[in-house]
C-alpha cells in the first residue's frame, strides 16, 4: 500500500470510528435530556477541543494499528494481529482520554489551589485504568467492525487491474 493510500485509510478509519462511537452517545444524551444540562456549561470551544483531542488520540493509535499493511492484512490471514492491535490501541485511547481530561481539570484547579496531589494521582491512576478497560473493549469491537466492513467492501468491489 502506498503512503497516500495508507494515510487516507488511516484518516477514514479514524473518522468513521469516532463518529460511530460518538454519534450514539450524543443521540442517547439528547433522548435522555442529559445534553441540555451538559452542553451549556461545556461551551462550543471546549467541546471542539475535546472532540479534536479524541480524534488526534484515535488517529495516532489507528496509524499504529494499521501499520504494516492496513486492513488488507485481514485478507492475508492476519486478522488476529489486527484485533490485538485494535484492543491495545483502544486501551491507549481510553487511558489517554481520561488522563488528558484529568490533567486539564487539575491544571485549572491548581490555579485555584484546590488540588490534593496524592488524591489526584490516585484518581488519575484509577481513571486511567478504567479508561483502558473500556477503551480495550471499544477498540476490539471497532477492530472487528473495521475488518468486517473491509471484507464486505472487498467482496463488493473488484480489485483494479494493474
Tens of pLDDT, residue by residue over 47-99, are 888 889 999 999 999 999 998 888 988 888 889 999 999 999 999 999 999 99
Alpha-carbon gap, residue 95 to 74, rounded angstroms: 26
pLDDT tops 90 at residue 41: no
What percentage of the chain has pLDDT greater than the value 90? 48
Instruction: Classify each residue of 22-50 as buried b or exposed e, where b means 16 or more C-beta atoms within 10 Å of its C-beta.
Output: eeeeeeeeeeeeebeeeeeeeeeeeeeee
Interatomic CA distance for residues 10 and 2, integer angstroms: 12
- What's the whole-number average pLDDT of the chain? 87
- The torsion of the CA quartet 67, 58, 85, 157, rounded to 10 degrees, works out to -60
79, three cell numbers: 486478522
Amino acid at each position: 500500500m502506498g503512503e497516500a493510500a495508507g494515510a487516507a485509510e488511516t484518516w477514514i478509519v479514524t473518522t468513521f470510528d469516532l463518529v460511530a462511537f460518538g454519534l450514539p452517545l450524543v443521540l442517547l444524551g439528547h433522548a435522555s435530556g442529559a445534553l441540555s444540562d451538559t452542553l451549556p456549561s461545556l461551551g462550543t470551544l471546549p467541546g471542539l477541543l475535546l472532540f479534536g483531542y479524541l480524534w488526534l488520540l484515535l488517529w495516532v493509535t489507528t496509524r499504529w494499528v494499521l501499520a504494516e499493511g492496513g486492513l488488507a492484512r485481514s485478507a492475508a490471514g492476519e486478522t488476529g494481529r489486527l484485533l490485538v492491535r485494535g484492543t491495545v490501541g483502544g486501551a491507549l485511547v481510553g487511558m489517554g482520554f481520561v488522563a488528558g481530561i484529568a490533567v486539564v481539570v487539575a491544571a485549572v484547579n491548581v490555579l485555584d489551589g484546590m488540588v490534593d496531589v496524592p488524591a489526584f494521582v490516585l484518581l488519575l491512576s484509577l481513571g486511567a485504568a478504567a479508561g483502558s478497560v473500556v477503551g480495550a473493549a471499544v477498540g476490539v469491537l471497532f477492530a472487528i467492525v473495521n475488518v468486517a466492513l473491509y471484507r464486505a467492501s472487498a467482496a463488493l468491489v473488484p480489485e483494479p487491474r494493474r
